[in-house]
Amino acid sequence: MNLCIALPGLTPAQRARLHAALPAHSLAFCAESPDAEKRAAVAAAHVVFGNVPAAWLAAAPDLRWVQLESAGVDAYLALNTPPRAAPVQLTNLAGFFDRAVAEAALAGLLAFYRQLPRLLVAQPSARWIKPEVEPAIRALDGQRVLILGAGGIAQRLARLLTAFDAQVQFFSRTGRAGSLSTPAELDAALATADLLLNTLPHTPATIGFLNHTRLARLKPNAVVVNVGRGSTLDETALVALLDSGHLGGAVLDVTAVEPLPADSPLWRHPKVLLTQHTGGRFPGELDRKLDVFLANLARFERGEPLASVVATGRGY
């Protein structure tokens, strides 16, 4: 089979590992190639590993499977539209980033609660701002936390927050046991939440889910954390409610447009901590991605069901 390996950043050792593991296949390492060469490799591929422009996949007549290197699948949901003679399977890295994203969310939240950004800015100029920051310091102990979503990231976050004696509730439209599931239940919970953690994926149903109305229902001085998708949060509404004093702050790993435009008020807002979509990074990530791909390729060759198949109709 022709395999197009579009995973960027591979070392010579990692490329050698793939060659050694896949001697019967033709490998094209195209992540750093010029676009013309990359498009040609995609067009000839039976399998693509990596996130290439979705439009290129339509020109690959023999394509049978795409293994994404991301959990997000937004751009690839129309992969089999119009229908192909042989549908292309689409798999992602669902669950792969759960621990890292949960850890990043907690790190950003603790930094905001303990006023670390302000303290770090003051440090190079030797400014003693203890009297200014102490009134703004918060604690997770006893906080009422509402997590939107109940997947792997949400479950991991709940376990971490429970160690701080926070009181955690989930909102899940799938009706997960013990979770809030109706709009009325969500609205009531928003009014008492000290902290709102958003882990929702990008789907047609979640675009703008956190709109002005929902954000305004939050308890005064509540903090919003977004580690789901930027499209789920109305950033204009968020800034307005931060400016009005209704919301106490926001920790954003994701934004609606990335890179975030330089003129966005989020960059300079004193109540916003931006972590620039670094939440999923962790040591050894590329090797782990290769592990996932090789294990799934073995299933593919044996004709077995693949792991982490994307339900394109559901959107994730």
How many CB atoms are located within 10 Å of the residue 230 CB? 17
* C-alpha closest to that of 218 among 148, 136, 115: 148
Q: Residues 50, 5: contact at Cβ < 8 Å?
A: yes
Of 39, 138, 173, 229, which is the active-site residue? 229
Q: How many CA atoms lie within 13 A of 42 on its CB side?
A: 23
Buried (b) or exposed (e) across 86-106, using 16+ Cβ within 10 A? eebbbbbbbebbbebbbebbb
Q: Residue 237's Cα: distance from chain center in Å?
A: 21
C-alpha–C-alpha distance, residues 201 and 315, integer Å = 8
229 is catalytic: yes
C-alpha dist (Å) from residue 80 to 66, 71, 73, 89: 11, 19, 13, 9
* C-alpha closest to that of 202 among 114, 99, 310: 310
How many CB atoms are located within 10 Å of the residue 251 CB? 26
Of 277, 281, 299, 314, which is the active-site residue? 277
Q: Residues 3, 290: contact at Cβ < 8 Å?
A: no
C-alpha–C-alpha distance, residues 304 and 121, integer Å = 54
314 is catalytic: no
At residue 220, the 3 state secondary structure works out as: coil
Rounded to a whole number of angstroms, the distance between the first and last alpha carbons of the chain is 27
Indicate the DSSP class of residue 180: B
Catalytic residues: 229, 277
